[in-house]
Amino acid sequence: MTTKSIGPLTRMNDIGANTTIVVGFPPNIARIKEVFTLRGGEIFAWGGIIYSPSTPVVPVQLIAHEEVHFKQQRGDPRLWWDHYLADPNFRLRQELEAHQMEYRVFCKSTLDRNRRARYLNTVARRLSGPLYNNLITMAKAMKLIKTGGSL
């Protein structure tokens, strides 16, 4: 496996630093694969770096999603990931917050309500689907993502 850094993006993240995308897997990929069935295309947040194994191109709304995870990690990605992988309820709360931010950022750049509705459906389907072990219904995911509500 080759890991290649493409360097910092020009977009500043919420903590005032450039976001770095690395084409490759995060340090704990073996542990992640023990918990999740990866299908390709997943991206991972680890200590201020976005790991994107398949492409260096990450849409701005997904960068915002991963930046939420940076904040959640509070400078200790190993501890956060251990908790995330071991506790499905913790994982759902963390992902809900990140999916809500992703949708908000998408809506800021998209005024078309039909495109917003389709994207909400996509984001809610991901949150409620097999990647996260079907921890929430699609209807509840859509409502919470759109309204910014909590579990």
Please measure the distance between the N-terminal and C-terminal CA atoms of the chain and give it in whole angstroms.
38
pLDDT by residue (tens digit) across 84-142?
A: 999 999 999 999 999 999 999 999 999 999 999 999 999 999 999 988 889 999 999 99
Q: Are 101 and 68 in contact (CB under 8 A)?
A: yes
Structure tokens at 42: 């997943």
Condensed to tens digits (0 to 9), the pLDDT of residues 31-82 reads: 999 999 898 999 999 999 999 999 999 999 999 999 999 999 999 999 999 9
Mean pLDDT score of the chain: 90
Residue spans of the domains in the chain: they are 87-151
Cα(100)–Cα(6) distance, integer angstroms: 27
Interatomic CA distance for residues 18 and 134, integer angstroms: 33
pTM of the predicted model, to two decimals? Answer: 0.88
